[in-house]
Amino acid sequence: MKTLAVIPQLCCGPDVPPLAPAAAERLAARFRALADPTRVAIVNRLAQAEETCVCDLTAAFDLSQPTISHHLKVLREAGLVESSRRGTWAYYRVVPDTLGALAAALTP
């Protein structure tokens, strides 16, 4: 009788536990917030500076202030940016831990 070599299964992925449903939903919400090119550009611009006034973002993107504010609200609700008020202006900055969690989710 001839013995056959056992071929390892190739259909299975790495031994990584599945993401918990709540964690998956948080990640999906953050990625949805970045599904708009303007919001990606805003996060990119904010990542380059310590913080930026909303008035500078309005000028940089040639969009109306309400449109920029809407994009910032989506990013803020997703936890990607945070803001502080000084007088009548709001200043925005990225949340490094949140951006790091997004990067870690895509890193093997």
CB 54 within 8 A of CB 65: yes
Structure token pair of residue 11: 């259909």
Chain segment 6-65, per-residue pLDDT in tens: 766 666 666 777 888 998 899 999 999 999 999 999 999 999 998 999 889 988 988 998
Give the tens place of pLDDT for each residue, 54-102.
Answer: 889 988 988 998 999 999 999 999 999 999 999 988 999 999 999 898 8
What's the CATH number where 94 sits? 1.10.10.10
Across-strand partners of 72? none
Nearest to 27 by CA among 63, 67, 78, 75: 78
Q: Is residue 52 part of a domain?
A: yes
Strand order in the sheet with 52-53: 52-53, 89-94, 81-86
- For residue 7, tell me if it sits in a domain: no
Domain that includes residue 61, residue range: 23-100
Angle between helices 37-48 and 54-61 (to 10 degrees): 130
Predicted pLDDT at 13: 64
pLDDT for res 66: 93
- Look at the chain and report how many structural domains it folds into: 1
Evaluate whether residue 8 is within a structural domain.
no
pLDDT score at 43: 95
Question: What does DSSP say about strands 89-94 and 81-86: parallel, antiparallel, or unpaired?
Answer: antiparallel
